[in-house]
Amino acid sequence: MAKIEAAHNRVFREVFVCKKCGAKIKAQARKVAEGKVKCRKCKSNALRPKRKKISK
């Protein structure tokens, strides 16, 4: 199936995952890099981008 760009952006663009508790957070990448965004559950600043699944 062809990938739909709008759906791909909605799922992966500006979505981050907390490294400690696994909560998903939508935020601007610039604010995450500056450390201004915290996890809502555990109040941690350790966030990573959501990984894209590789389908074969």
- DSSP H stretches of helix in 1-56: 5-12, 29-34
By the 10 Å C-beta count (0-12 exposed, 13-18 middle, 19+ buried), 8 is classed as exposed
**Cα torsion angle, 48, 35, 45, 27, sign:** negative
Mean pLDDT value of segment 31-49: 94
How many Å apart are CA 19 and CA 55, to the nearest integer?
Answer: 24
pTM exceeding 0.85: no
Mean pLDDT value of segment 18-45: 94
**Greater pLDDT, 11 or 34:** 34
